[in-house]
Amino acid sequence: MDIRITTLVLVLTMPFCVLAQQAKSAQAQEPQTRPEEIVITGERSVLRTQMMETEKRAYEVFNKFNDEKRFKISCNMHQPTGTRLSRQVCEPDFVSEAAAEHGQDFLADWSASNDPRTFAFSSDINHTSQVTHLPMEAVIGSQLPDYHRKIKQIAEQHPEFLQAVIEYSKIRDQYEKTTTAMGK
């Protein structure tokens, strides 16, 4: 009886082995082709790319004529948490430096408040860390009037910067109209 079951199992599994072997040899004979790739580029996507490029170009022209390091503008791609869509963020160095300094201050305050030695010699049970740093917004805000004056000065003295800003504004307006018309 065991021989019959073994024979039956062999007879039933044999076709699957043969089919698998045939499929392997057929794959080996067929050239590997990539599946067709379809790229859909809509007007909004094209305008978004053009808008980012013209914004970057305008700031490159600004940087060419800017003589103050703190006002140099850098553009980087940033992907906000919770989205897959990256966006371009352009900001002057003083904004980036204020954000970096704010982060360092926060970390230093946090480290000090979590250091057990900070409280070991304190007679005040309700001891709290006092923040002695200027808020990031205040640091940035204090430099904005000078920054705006610099932008205006360069726009008045260098028509190529003004033209680059106008070109960027036109494309941005087209992008916003297209986005509004499509329901975002």
Q: Each residue of 27-62: pLDDT tens digit?
A: 555 556 666 665 555 788 899 999 999 999 999 999
The pTM for the full model equals 0.65
Distance CA 64, CA 18 (A): 71
pLDDT tens digits for range 107-137: 888 887 777 665 555 444 444 545 567 899 9
> What phi and psi, each to the nearest 5 degrees, are found at residue 150?
-65, -45
